[in-house]
Amino acid sequence: MTAASLLLGAALPAAAQQAGALSPEERMRETLLYGIEGEVLQVIARLKASGDDSLHPELLRTFQATSNPAVAAAVLDLFALAEVRDAEKTALERLADPDGDPRLLVPCMRYLAAIRSVAAAQPLAAFLDSGDELAAAAIQSLAALGQQSSGEALLARLRDPEYSPGLKSQLLLALGTLKYQPAVEDLIQVVANPDEERVRRMYAASALGEIGDARALPALRELFGAQDSLLRAYAAAALAGFQLSEVEAALQDALRDGNARVRQAAAKALARKDARKSVDILIYKARYDPERQVRLEAIRSLGAIGEARSLAYLREAYQDRLLGNLYREEALAALLQHDPGGSLGAVRAVVEEEWSRKDAAVLEFTARRLSALKQAGLGELFRRFLESPNLVIRLYGLRGARLNRLGSLREKVRELAEGDPHPSVRREAQLVFEAL
């Protein structure tokens, strides 16, 4: 029996359940082909959740036959998620009708972009001069498709003074996504024009950051002098796309900006291994910045830099009982991502210190983070978690034991499966025992 039938057997529409002679797969198949909208959407949702592909032929036939936008979109969304190309031909045929229902055409565009259909570029470009809804979807889909050849048509519309003003921002973003070098001078003009709409200047800055052409640096640096804090924030974020040697000083200066969004964007842009010159200011921001999001971003960037001073600070922060748990957990997350082996000593010290405390919050987030880590040397920590009086910590211990395939804990897991007072732990332990 397929995973879909197990999930769907109890959830099929009532009309389908009455056909008692049919298997669950057959009932689902008939529902897809003959059911009403709500029934069909329910089956598609369950198939998407289960990942079962046994009914893909029926899904394709459903898409080919339907004029229902919701059903078509649901099928194409499932196919896009599963990277199934079966509907490509039909989707392209739908795009050949420029007068079709936008509610059907837009899902086709997004699906073709998701599967990177080489044949879709020309049909999509044909919609650039349609109404705003279809044109916007075409712009976004061409960007997602990633073909440099589409940049020329997009840039031509950006330069066209008669083109829909409401679509110019989408064009800017699309040119950045494509990293379309011929658009650099046009994007610089938008950024540098104080009379241009704020959103367009922001999006042009973002696009220049994605392209990463050094010609844009003077205009982006100039943007740091703007009174509008959002413009400064976009400028800081854009600098992440350039060589660090060209922008590190500007990003350090942005960390001193009076606006938190600017500081946060600058901290995020410094999340690079070669940003060692910025460790001291990032540690300062992680300790003292008045805004939570700036402190958290600084912690993440210190982890990404990963040099001795930054890692030492993160271990110190994780072990600091006077520091808020939000920052302690973020420090642990950065350590486990960038230096898991070198951080187990700090983890053991925290577990030992926190073990007998009434407030188990630190132990719980530590166990949760470790349960998702595949790393040598975790066996004794997970054994201790399995012995915790805390239900949540025992569950995380079980999940970590399973992920790391810790056969040495099999007997302890069996004891929990047979005798733990909580049913949820017994169920989880039984699954882990069978997997070890």
CB-based burial, 5-17: b 16+ in 10 Å, e otherwise = bebbbeebbeebe
Q: Report residue 61's pLDDT band, with 50, 70 and 90 as the boundaries.
A: very high
- Please give the structure tokens belonging to residue 2: 């397929």
Cα angle for residues 273, 225, 189 (degrees, 5° grid)? 90
In the chain, % of residues over pLDDT 90:
86
pLDDT at 1: 42
Among 280, 239, 420, residue whose Cα is nearest residue 432: 420
Q: Which pLDDT tens digit goes with each residue over 218-255? A: 999 999 999 999 999 999 999 999 999 999 999 999 99
pLDDT at 206: 97
pLDDT at 21: 66
Among 268, 233, 238, residue whose Cα is nearest residue 173: 238
Q: Report residue 53's pLDDT band, with 50, 70 and 90 as the boundaries.
A: confident
* Number of C-beta neighbours around residue 103 at 10 A: 14
Report the pLDDT averaged over residues 356-373.
96
- pLDDT for 214 beyond 50: yes
Q: Report residue 412's pLDDT band, with 50, 70 and 90 as the boundaries.
A: very high
Q: Report residue 16's pLDDT band, with 50, 70 and 90 as the boundaries.
A: very low
Cα angle for residues 160, 164, 168 (degrees, 5° grid)? 75
pLDDT at 97: 86
Q: Which pLDDT tens digit goes with each residue over 24-51? A: 788 888 888 888 999 999 999 998 988 8
Q: What is the Cα–Cα distance from 30 to 27, expressed in whole angstroms?
A: 5
Q: What is the Cα–Cα distance from 390 to 398, expressed in whole angstroms?
A: 13
Report the pLDDT averaged over residues 306-319.
98
Side-chain half-sphere CA neighbours of 195 within 13 A: 0
pLDDT at 3: 44
Q: Report residue 117's pLDDT band, with 50, 70 and 90 as the boundaries.
A: very high
Report the pLDDT averaged over residues 276-301.
98
DSSP per-residue codes, 52-88 = --TTHHHHHHHHHH---HHHHHHHHHHHHHTT--TTH
pLDDT at 20: 52
Among 338, 278, 342, 336, residue whose Cα is nearest residue 304: 338
- pLDDT for 87 beyond 60: yes
**Which single residue is written with the structure tokens 């010159």?**
277
pLDDT at 282: 98
In the chain, % of residues over pLDDT 70:
95
pLDDT at 26: 87
- pLDDT for 371 beyond 70: yes
What domains are defined for the chain? Answer: 179-269 (1.25.10.10)
pLDDT at 24: 79
- pLDDT for 12 beyond 70: no
State the chain's mean pLDDT as an integer. Answer: 93
